[in-house]
Amino acid sequence: MNLWFLALWVTLVKAWVVNEGTTCILYPESLVHKGQAVDDSPSIQQAFETCGTNGTVIFSDNVFHVNTVLNTTNLLNCDVHLRGELRFSTNIPYWRTHSISVVLQDQVTAWLFGGTNVNFYGEGGFYNGQGQAWYNANRNESNQPGRPMSITFYNSTNLLVDRLRVIQPQFWATFVWDSKNVSLTNLFVNATSNSKWGTMNTDGYDSWKSDTLLIENATIINGDDCIAAKGNTTNLLARNIYCEGGTGITIGSIGQYPDMPDYVLNATFENVKIKNAMDGAYIKTWQGTRIYTPSNGDWGGGGTGLVKNVTFRNFEMDNVGLPIQLSQCVYSADSNKGCNTSTLQIEDVKWQNIHGTSRFNIASSIYCSDERPCPNITFDNVNITSVNASLGLPYYGTDVQHELFQCTNVVGQNGSGIPCNQAAPSNFSQWIYGNVDDSGLATLS
Protein backbone atom coordinates (compact mmCIF):
# COMPACT_ATOMS: atom_id res chain seq x y z
CA MET A 1 0.00 0.00 0.00
CA ASN A 2 1.65 3.23 -1.01
CA LEU A 3 1.62 6.26 1.23
CA TRP A 4 -0.80 8.24 -0.87
CA PHE A 5 -3.36 5.43 -0.84
CA LEU A 6 -2.91 4.98 2.91
CA ALA A 7 -3.59 8.66 3.46
CA LEU A 8 -6.72 8.48 1.35
CA TRP A 9 -7.84 5.34 3.13
CA VAL A 10 -7.40 6.95 6.55
CA THR A 11 -9.40 9.97 5.42
CA LEU A 12 -12.23 7.77 4.24
CA VAL A 13 -12.20 5.58 7.31
CA LYS A 14 -12.76 8.63 9.44
CA ALA A 15 -15.32 9.85 7.00
CA TRP A 16 -18.60 8.17 7.97
CA VAL A 17 -19.41 11.32 9.84
CA VAL A 18 -17.13 14.23 9.13
CA ASN A 19 -17.77 16.73 11.84
CA GLU A 20 -16.89 20.32 11.08
CA GLY A 21 -18.09 22.48 13.92
CA THR A 22 -21.86 22.11 14.06
CA THR A 23 -22.06 20.44 10.65
CA CYS A 24 -21.97 16.68 10.20
CA ILE A 25 -21.35 15.34 6.72
CA LEU A 26 -22.25 11.71 6.15
CA TYR A 27 -20.45 9.28 3.85
CA PRO A 28 -21.48 5.67 3.35
CA GLU A 29 -19.54 2.67 4.65
CA SER A 30 -19.64 1.11 1.21
CA LEU A 31 -16.89 3.51 0.10
CA VAL A 32 -14.39 1.63 2.23
CA HIS A 33 -16.00 -1.80 2.15
CA LYS A 34 -15.52 -2.50 -1.55
CA GLY A 35 -19.04 -1.33 -2.34
CA GLN A 36 -20.68 -3.74 0.09
CA ALA A 37 -24.05 -2.78 1.54
CA VAL A 38 -22.70 -2.24 5.05
CA ASP A 39 -25.32 -0.67 7.31
CA ASP A 40 -25.05 3.11 7.49
CA SER A 41 -27.75 3.50 10.14
CA PRO A 42 -25.30 3.72 13.06
CA SER A 43 -23.41 6.62 11.48
CA ILE A 44 -26.68 8.33 10.55
CA GLN A 45 -27.78 8.05 14.18
CA GLN A 46 -24.40 9.40 15.27
CA ALA A 47 -24.63 12.39 12.93
CA PHE A 48 -28.03 13.35 14.34
CA GLU A 49 -26.77 12.91 17.90
CA THR A 50 -23.77 15.14 17.21
CA CYS A 51 -25.40 17.78 15.00
CA GLY A 52 -29.14 17.42 15.71
CA THR A 53 -29.22 20.38 18.09
CA ASN A 54 -28.23 23.75 16.63
CA GLY A 55 -26.54 22.00 13.74
CA THR A 56 -26.65 20.70 10.20
CA VAL A 57 -26.65 17.13 8.90
CA ILE A 58 -25.64 16.58 5.28
CA PHE A 59 -26.03 13.29 3.44
CA SER A 60 -23.38 13.49 0.73
CA ASP A 61 -24.19 12.49 -2.83
CA ASN A 62 -23.70 8.74 -2.38
CA VAL A 63 -25.81 5.64 -1.80
CA PHE A 64 -26.51 5.00 1.89
CA HIS A 65 -27.62 1.55 2.98
CA VAL A 66 -30.23 1.73 5.68
CA ASN A 67 -30.50 -1.75 7.17
CA THR A 68 -31.79 -0.90 10.65
CA VAL A 69 -34.51 1.41 11.94
CA LEU A 70 -33.84 5.11 12.31
CA ASN A 71 -35.04 7.16 15.26
CA THR A 72 -33.92 10.76 14.85
CA THR A 73 -36.31 12.64 17.08
CA ASN A 74 -36.09 15.57 19.47
CA LEU A 75 -33.98 17.57 17.04
CA LEU A 76 -33.74 21.28 17.74
CA ASN A 77 -32.81 24.05 15.30
CA CYS A 78 -31.49 21.55 12.81
CA ASP A 79 -31.14 21.59 9.01
CA VAL A 80 -30.93 18.35 7.07
CA HIS A 81 -29.70 18.18 3.47
CA LEU A 82 -30.35 14.97 1.56
CA ARG A 83 -28.05 14.83 -1.45
CA GLY A 84 -27.67 11.06 -1.77
CA GLU A 85 -29.90 8.02 -1.95
CA LEU A 86 -31.21 6.36 1.20
CA ARG A 87 -31.64 2.76 0.15
CA PHE A 88 -33.73 0.86 2.68
CA SER A 89 -32.97 -2.85 2.84
CA THR A 90 -35.44 -5.53 1.79
CA ASN A 91 -34.94 -7.71 4.85
CA ILE A 92 -38.66 -8.07 5.41
CA PRO A 93 -38.43 -10.29 8.53
CA TYR A 94 -36.15 -7.69 10.14
CA TRP A 95 -38.39 -4.68 9.43
CA ARG A 96 -41.55 -6.54 10.42
CA THR A 97 -40.13 -7.20 13.87
CA HIS A 98 -38.11 -4.03 14.50
CA SER A 99 -39.96 -1.09 12.99
CA ILE A 100 -41.13 1.58 15.42
CA SER A 101 -44.77 1.74 16.53
CA VAL A 102 -46.84 4.73 15.46
CA VAL A 103 -49.81 3.55 17.58
CA LEU A 104 -52.48 4.22 14.93
CA GLN A 105 -53.91 0.91 13.69
CA ASP A 106 -50.93 -0.88 15.27
CA GLN A 107 -48.81 0.37 12.42
CA VAL A 108 -45.08 0.98 12.35
CA THR A 109 -42.44 3.11 10.68
CA ALA A 110 -38.91 2.53 9.39
CA TRP A 111 -37.83 6.07 10.26
CA LEU A 112 -39.20 8.18 13.09
CA PHE A 113 -38.11 11.77 12.52
CA GLY A 114 -38.89 14.99 14.34
CA GLY A 115 -38.04 18.03 16.36
CA THR A 116 -38.53 21.74 16.74
CA ASN A 117 -37.48 24.31 14.14
CA VAL A 118 -36.24 21.71 11.71
CA ASN A 119 -35.77 22.00 7.94
CA PHE A 120 -35.34 18.91 5.80
CA TYR A 121 -34.20 19.71 2.26
CA GLY A 122 -34.12 17.12 -0.47
CA GLU A 123 -31.30 18.41 -2.61
CA GLY A 124 -31.27 15.89 -5.42
CA GLY A 125 -31.28 13.00 -2.96
CA PHE A 126 -34.13 10.58 -2.47
CA TYR A 127 -35.61 7.93 -0.24
CA ASN A 128 -35.62 4.54 -1.93
CA GLY A 129 -37.97 2.27 0.02
CA GLN A 130 -37.24 -0.65 -2.34
CA GLY A 131 -40.95 -1.28 -1.97
CA GLN A 132 -41.10 -3.81 -4.78
CA ALA A 133 -40.11 -6.50 -2.27
CA TRP A 134 -43.01 -5.40 -0.08
CA TYR A 135 -45.51 -5.24 -2.94
CA ASN A 136 -44.57 -8.77 -4.00
CA ALA A 137 -44.71 -10.09 -0.44
CA ASN A 138 -48.02 -8.37 0.22
CA ARG A 139 -49.72 -10.04 -2.77
CA ASN A 140 -52.46 -7.38 -2.99
CA GLU A 141 -53.52 -7.87 0.63
CA SER A 142 -54.16 -4.93 2.92
CA ASN A 143 -52.34 -3.70 6.01
CA GLN A 144 -49.78 -6.49 6.39
CA PRO A 145 -48.71 -6.32 10.05
CA GLY A 146 -45.28 -4.81 10.52
CA ARG A 147 -45.04 -3.34 7.04
CA PRO A 148 -43.41 0.00 7.78
CA MET A 149 -44.28 3.51 6.70
CA SER A 150 -41.29 5.09 4.99
CA ILE A 151 -40.92 8.16 7.20
CA THR A 152 -43.00 9.50 10.06
CA PHE A 153 -42.78 13.11 11.17
CA TYR A 154 -43.46 12.90 14.87
CA ASN A 155 -43.74 15.27 17.82
CA SER A 156 -42.59 18.13 15.64
CA THR A 157 -43.17 21.86 15.78
CA ASN A 158 -42.22 24.21 12.94
CA LEU A 159 -40.98 21.51 10.59
CA LEU A 160 -40.40 22.15 6.90
CA VAL A 161 -39.79 19.25 4.53
CA ASP A 162 -39.00 20.52 1.06
CA ARG A 163 -38.42 18.45 -2.10
CA LEU A 164 -38.53 15.08 -0.40
CA ARG A 165 -38.67 12.32 -3.03
CA VAL A 166 -39.86 8.87 -2.03
CA ILE A 167 -39.42 6.14 -4.63
CA GLN A 168 -41.21 2.84 -4.10
CA PRO A 169 -42.26 3.41 -0.49
CA GLN A 170 -42.59 0.25 1.58
CA PHE A 171 -46.09 1.24 2.81
CA TRP A 172 -47.45 4.77 3.45
CA ALA A 173 -44.77 7.16 2.19
CA THR A 174 -45.17 9.98 4.72
CA PHE A 175 -47.08 10.30 7.98
CA VAL A 176 -47.42 13.35 10.20
CA TRP A 177 -48.25 12.49 13.80
CA ASP A 178 -48.61 14.50 17.00
CA SER A 179 -47.22 17.61 15.39
CA LYS A 180 -47.90 21.28 14.85
CA ASN A 181 -46.98 23.57 11.97
CA VAL A 182 -45.56 21.01 9.58
CA SER A 183 -45.14 21.87 5.88
CA LEU A 184 -44.35 19.42 3.14
CA THR A 185 -43.58 21.31 -0.04
CA ASN A 186 -42.67 19.87 -3.44
CA LEU A 187 -43.16 16.30 -2.27
CA PHE A 188 -42.73 13.60 -4.90
CA VAL A 189 -43.87 10.03 -4.34
CA ASN A 190 -43.79 7.28 -6.96
CA ALA A 191 -45.11 3.90 -5.86
CA THR A 192 -45.20 1.92 -9.07
CA SER A 193 -44.95 -1.85 -9.13
CA ASN A 194 -43.16 -3.70 -11.88
CA SER A 195 -44.68 -7.08 -11.02
CA LYS A 196 -48.21 -8.50 -11.18
CA TRP A 197 -48.81 -7.32 -7.64
CA GLY A 198 -50.18 -3.85 -6.98
CA THR A 199 -49.16 -1.09 -4.60
CA MET A 200 -51.92 -1.42 -2.02
CA ASN A 201 -51.41 0.81 1.05
CA THR A 202 -48.83 3.12 -0.48
CA ASP A 203 -50.57 6.29 0.75
CA GLY A 204 -48.72 9.46 -0.21
CA TYR A 205 -49.42 11.61 2.84
CA ASP A 206 -51.39 10.88 5.99
CA SER A 207 -51.89 13.04 9.06
CA TRP A 208 -53.09 12.18 12.55
CA LYS A 209 -53.43 14.24 15.73
CA SER A 210 -51.76 17.24 14.12
CA ASP A 211 -52.55 20.91 13.64
CA THR A 212 -51.57 23.60 11.15
CA LEU A 213 -50.42 21.52 8.23
CA LEU A 214 -49.46 22.48 4.71
CA ILE A 215 -48.86 20.26 1.75
CA GLU A 216 -48.08 22.25 -1.35
CA ASN A 217 -46.90 21.20 -4.80
CA ALA A 218 -47.07 17.44 -4.41
CA THR A 219 -46.93 14.81 -7.13
CA ILE A 220 -48.11 11.45 -5.88
CA ILE A 221 -48.32 8.35 -8.07
CA ASN A 222 -49.48 5.40 -6.02
CA GLY A 223 -52.01 2.67 -5.32
CA ASP A 224 -53.89 4.02 -2.33
CA ASP A 225 -54.86 7.33 -0.73
CA CYS A 226 -53.00 10.26 -2.25
CA ILE A 227 -53.66 12.39 0.82
CA ALA A 228 -55.61 11.17 3.86
CA ALA A 229 -56.44 13.40 6.80
CA LYS A 230 -57.12 11.11 9.72
CA GLY A 231 -58.46 11.81 13.22
CA ASN A 232 -57.69 15.14 14.87
CA THR A 233 -56.22 16.76 11.81
CA THR A 234 -57.03 20.46 12.08
CA ASN A 235 -56.24 23.46 9.93
CA LEU A 236 -54.87 21.50 6.99
CA LEU A 237 -54.23 23.20 3.66
CA ALA A 238 -53.36 21.05 0.65
CA ARG A 239 -52.83 22.84 -2.63
CA ASN A 240 -51.34 22.26 -6.07
CA ILE A 241 -51.55 18.50 -5.87
CA TYR A 242 -51.29 15.91 -8.65
CA CYS A 243 -52.57 12.45 -7.80
CA GLU A 244 -52.36 9.51 -10.15
CA GLY A 245 -53.48 5.92 -9.89
CA GLY A 246 -54.61 5.65 -6.28
CA THR A 247 -57.74 6.40 -4.30
CA GLY A 248 -57.71 10.17 -4.31
CA ILE A 249 -57.93 12.76 -1.57
CA THR A 250 -59.83 11.85 1.54
CA ILE A 251 -60.74 12.64 5.07
CA GLY A 252 -60.52 9.27 6.74
CA SER A 253 -60.89 6.65 7.33
CA ILE A 254 -62.06 7.88 10.70
CA GLY A 255 -64.36 6.51 13.39
CA GLN A 256 -62.43 3.28 13.86
CA TYR A 257 -62.04 3.46 17.65
CA PRO A 258 -64.88 4.07 20.16
CA ASP A 259 -62.46 5.41 22.79
CA MET A 260 -60.84 7.99 20.49
CA PRO A 261 -63.31 10.39 18.84
CA ASP A 262 -62.01 11.85 15.59
CA TYR A 263 -62.28 15.57 14.91
CA VAL A 264 -61.31 16.89 11.50
CA LEU A 265 -61.87 20.65 11.36
CA ASN A 266 -60.89 23.39 8.95
CA ALA A 267 -59.45 21.46 6.04
CA THR A 268 -59.03 22.87 2.54
CA PHE A 269 -57.92 20.98 -0.54
CA GLU A 270 -57.49 23.11 -3.63
CA ASN A 271 -56.01 23.07 -7.12
CA VAL A 272 -55.91 19.32 -7.42
CA LYS A 273 -55.71 17.06 -10.44
CA ILE A 274 -56.75 13.44 -10.00
CA LYS A 275 -55.96 11.05 -12.83
CA ASN A 276 -56.89 7.39 -13.41
CA ALA A 277 -57.92 6.92 -9.81
CA MET A 278 -60.61 4.98 -7.99
CA ASP A 279 -61.77 8.01 -5.97
CA GLY A 280 -61.45 11.78 -6.12
CA ALA A 281 -62.50 14.06 -3.28
CA TYR A 282 -64.23 12.23 -0.44
CA ILE A 283 -64.89 11.54 3.22
CA LYS A 284 -64.95 8.02 4.63
CA THR A 285 -65.91 6.84 8.08
CA TRP A 286 -66.35 3.49 9.72
CA GLN A 287 -69.84 2.29 10.63
CA GLY A 288 -71.19 2.85 14.13
CA THR A 289 -70.88 -0.75 15.28
CA ARG A 290 -67.73 -2.81 15.89
CA ILE A 291 -67.12 -5.22 13.05
CA TYR A 292 -64.20 -7.51 12.36
CA THR A 293 -62.90 -6.40 8.98
CA PRO A 294 -60.28 -8.82 7.67
CA SER A 295 -59.65 -6.64 4.62
CA ASN A 296 -58.37 -3.99 7.01
CA GLY A 297 -56.70 -6.48 9.32
CA ASP A 298 -58.52 -5.38 12.43
CA TRP A 299 -61.71 -4.69 14.32
CA GLY A 300 -63.13 -1.29 13.68
CA GLY A 301 -66.11 0.99 13.93
CA GLY A 302 -68.11 2.61 16.68
CA GLY A 303 -65.99 5.73 16.74
CA THR A 304 -67.65 9.11 16.95
CA GLY A 305 -66.49 12.68 16.37
CA LEU A 306 -66.99 15.58 14.00
CA VAL A 307 -65.95 16.62 10.51
CA LYS A 308 -66.67 20.31 9.99
CA ASN A 309 -65.63 23.12 7.70
CA VAL A 310 -64.07 21.20 4.84
CA THR A 311 -63.63 22.55 1.32
CA PHE A 312 -62.65 20.67 -1.82
CA ARG A 313 -62.04 23.39 -4.41
CA ASN A 314 -60.76 23.50 -8.00
CA PHE A 315 -60.45 19.81 -8.76
CA GLU A 316 -59.92 18.38 -12.20
CA MET A 317 -60.94 14.72 -12.43
CA ASP A 318 -59.68 12.55 -15.25
CA ASN A 319 -61.21 9.05 -15.40
CA VAL A 320 -62.09 8.73 -11.72
CA GLY A 321 -64.31 5.89 -10.43
CA LEU A 322 -66.15 7.81 -7.71
CA PRO A 323 -65.20 11.48 -8.15
CA ILE A 324 -67.12 12.73 -5.11
CA GLN A 325 -68.19 10.61 -2.18
CA LEU A 326 -69.25 10.67 1.42
CA SER A 327 -69.61 7.23 2.98
CA GLN A 328 -70.32 6.45 6.61
CA CYS A 329 -69.59 2.75 6.34
CA VAL A 330 -66.70 2.35 3.98
CA TYR A 331 -65.52 -0.99 5.37
CA SER A 332 -68.88 -2.63 6.02
CA ALA A 333 -70.58 -1.58 2.83
CA ASP A 334 -69.88 -4.81 0.97
CA SER A 335 -71.43 -6.90 3.73
CA ASN A 336 -74.03 -4.17 4.27
CA LYS A 337 -73.72 -4.50 8.03
CA GLY A 338 -74.39 -1.54 10.27
CA CYS A 339 -74.06 0.95 7.46
CA ASN A 340 -76.66 3.20 8.93
CA THR A 341 -75.26 3.39 12.43
CA SER A 342 -72.39 5.89 12.39
CA THR A 343 -72.64 8.65 14.99
CA LEU A 344 -69.74 10.61 13.54
CA GLN A 345 -71.23 13.98 12.57
CA ILE A 346 -70.28 15.46 9.20
CA GLU A 347 -71.32 19.00 8.36
CA ASP A 348 -70.32 22.12 6.53
CA VAL A 349 -68.57 20.45 3.60
CA LYS A 350 -68.26 22.17 0.24
CA TRP A 351 -67.29 20.85 -3.19
CA GLN A 352 -66.59 23.83 -5.43
CA ASN A 353 -65.40 24.03 -9.06
CA ILE A 354 -65.08 20.31 -9.64
CA HIS A 355 -64.72 19.36 -13.31
CA GLY A 356 -63.74 16.50 -15.53
CA THR A 357 -64.61 12.89 -16.16
CA SER A 358 -65.90 9.95 -14.18
CA ARG A 359 -64.99 6.41 -15.22
CA PHE A 360 -68.63 5.23 -14.90
CA ASN A 361 -72.06 6.87 -14.86
CA ILE A 362 -71.77 8.27 -11.38
CA ALA A 363 -70.41 11.64 -10.32
CA SER A 364 -71.18 11.57 -6.62
CA SER A 365 -72.58 9.47 -3.81
CA ILE A 366 -73.35 11.25 -0.55
CA TYR A 367 -74.47 8.79 2.10
CA CYS A 368 -75.00 10.11 5.62
CA SER A 369 -76.33 7.80 8.30
CA ASP A 370 -79.84 7.97 9.76
CA GLU A 371 -78.15 8.59 13.10
CA ARG A 372 -76.36 11.72 11.89
CA PRO A 373 -77.80 13.31 8.75
CA CYS A 374 -75.42 15.91 7.29
CA PRO A 375 -76.30 19.61 7.30
CA ASN A 376 -74.68 22.23 5.09
CA ILE A 377 -73.31 19.95 2.40
CA THR A 378 -72.99 22.01 -0.79
CA PHE A 379 -71.98 21.66 -4.41
CA ASP A 380 -71.04 24.79 -6.30
CA ASN A 381 -70.08 24.56 -9.96
CA VAL A 382 -69.66 20.79 -10.07
CA ASN A 383 -69.63 19.46 -13.64
CA ILE A 384 -68.59 15.86 -14.14
CA THR A 385 -69.26 13.82 -17.26
CA SER A 386 -68.56 10.14 -17.71
CA VAL A 387 -65.66 9.22 -19.94
CA ASN A 388 -68.10 7.59 -22.35
CA ALA A 389 -70.45 10.55 -22.46
CA SER A 390 -67.51 12.90 -22.97
CA LEU A 391 -66.71 10.86 -26.09
CA GLY A 392 -70.33 10.98 -27.27
CA LEU A 393 -70.82 7.27 -26.50
CA PRO A 394 -73.78 5.69 -24.68
CA TYR A 395 -73.32 4.21 -21.23
CA TYR A 396 -72.86 0.44 -21.47
CA GLY A 397 -74.31 -2.32 -19.31
CA THR A 398 -76.85 -0.11 -17.59
CA ASP A 399 -80.32 1.30 -18.07
CA VAL A 400 -79.18 4.67 -16.69
CA GLN A 401 -78.05 6.94 -19.52
CA HIS A 402 -77.14 10.03 -17.53
CA GLU A 403 -74.76 11.02 -14.77
CA LEU A 404 -75.87 10.05 -11.27
CA PHE A 405 -75.71 12.23 -8.17
CA GLN A 406 -76.82 10.13 -5.22
CA CYS A 407 -78.02 11.56 -1.92
CA THR A 408 -79.18 10.02 1.34
CA ASN A 409 -79.77 11.97 4.55
CA VAL A 410 -78.51 15.27 3.17
CA VAL A 411 -80.19 17.93 5.31
CA GLY A 412 -81.64 20.75 3.22
CA GLN A 413 -81.06 18.80 0.02
CA ASN A 414 -82.99 21.28 -2.10
CA GLY A 415 -80.73 24.18 -1.23
CA SER A 416 -77.55 22.11 -1.36
CA GLY A 417 -76.79 22.68 -5.02
CA ILE A 418 -76.45 18.92 -5.46
CA PRO A 419 -78.51 17.75 -8.45
CA CYS A 420 -79.60 14.67 -6.50
CA ASN A 421 -81.26 12.19 -8.88
CA GLN A 422 -80.96 8.91 -7.02
CA ALA A 423 -80.88 7.73 -3.41
CA ALA A 424 -77.39 6.75 -2.26
CA PRO A 425 -77.61 3.06 -1.37
CA SER A 426 -75.98 1.75 1.77
CA ASN A 427 -73.70 -0.67 -0.04
CA PHE A 428 -71.18 1.75 -1.42
CA SER A 429 -67.63 1.22 -0.33
CA GLN A 430 -64.95 3.37 -1.93
CA TRP A 431 -64.42 0.79 -4.68
CA ILE A 432 -66.60 0.67 -7.77
CA TYR A 433 -65.99 -1.38 -10.90
CA GLY A 434 -68.86 -0.62 -13.23
CA ASN A 435 -71.89 1.48 -14.01
CA VAL A 436 -74.73 1.95 -11.57
CA ASP A 437 -78.20 0.71 -12.53
CA ASP A 438 -81.66 2.07 -12.00
CA SER A 439 -81.89 0.60 -8.51
CA GLY A 440 -78.73 2.46 -7.46
CA LEU A 441 -76.60 -0.66 -7.27
CA ALA A 442 -73.07 -0.58 -8.58
CA THR A 443 -70.81 -3.29 -9.84
CA LEU A 444 -68.73 -3.75 -6.74
CA SER A 445 -66.24 -6.35 -7.93
Residues annotated as catalytic (active site), given as ranges: 224
Per CB under 6 A, the segment of 71-79, 399-407, 424-432, 434-442 that binds ligand NAG is: 71-79
**Should residue 353 be labelled a site residue for ligand NAG when binding is judged by CB under 6 A?**
no
C-beta separation of 236 from 266 below 8 A: yes
**Should residue 105 be labelled a site residue for ligand NAG when binding is judged by CB under 6 A?**
no
Residue of 9, 12, 35, 54 that binds ligand NAG (CB under 6 A): 54
Q: What is the C-alpha separation between 125 and 192, in angstroms, rounded?
A: 19
Please, which residue, 147 or 425, has the CB nearer to ligand NAG? 147
Residues 6+ apart with CB under 8 A from 435: 360, 361, 362, 395, 396, 397, 398, 400, 442, 443
Per CB under 6 A, the segment of 123-131, 214-222, 321-329, 415-423 that binds ligand NAG is: 214-222
Please, which residue, 2 or 194, has the CB nearer to ligand NAG? 194
Smallest distance, Å, CB 132 to ligand NAG?
A: 9
Please, which residue, 198 or 297, has the CB nearer to ligand NAG? 198
For the chain, report the end-to-end CA distance as a whole number of angstroms: 67
Smallest distance, Å, CB 11 to ligand NAG?
A: 28
Residues 6+ apart with CB under 8 A from 26: 16, 17, 18, 40, 43, 44, 47, 57, 58, 59, 60, 64, 84
Q: For the window 170-209, what string marks contact with ligand NAG as x by the rule CB under 6 A?
A: -----------x-x-xx---x-x---xxx----------x
Q: What is the DSSP string of 200-265?
A: TT--SEEEESEEEEEEEEEEEE-SS-SEEE-TTEEEEEEEEEEEESS--EEEEEE---TTS-EEEE
- According to DSSP, residue 370 is labeled S
Closest CA to 338 of 370, 306, 377, 366: 370
**Should residue 373 be labelled a site residue for ligand NAG when binding is judged by CB under 6 A?**
no
Compute the residue count for the chain.
Answer: 445
Closest CA to 443 of 323, 361, 363: 361
Q: For the window 3-22, what string marks contact with ligand NAG as x by the rule CB under 6 A?
A: --------------------
> What residues between 374 and 433 interact with ligand NAG by CB under 6 A?
376, 383, 385, 390
Report whether the peptide linkage leading into residue 156 is cis, meaning its omega lies within 30 degrees of zero: no
Per CB under 6 A, the segment of 34-42, 264-272, 288-296, 365-373 that binds ligand NAG is: 264-272
* Interface residues toward ligand NAG, by CB under 6 A: 53-54, 71, 73-74, 77, 100, 116, 140, 155, 157-158, 160, 181, 183, 185-186, 190, 192, 196-198, 209, 216-217, 221, 223, 231-232, 234-235, 240, 260-263, 265-268, 309, 347-348, 350, 376, 383, 385, 390
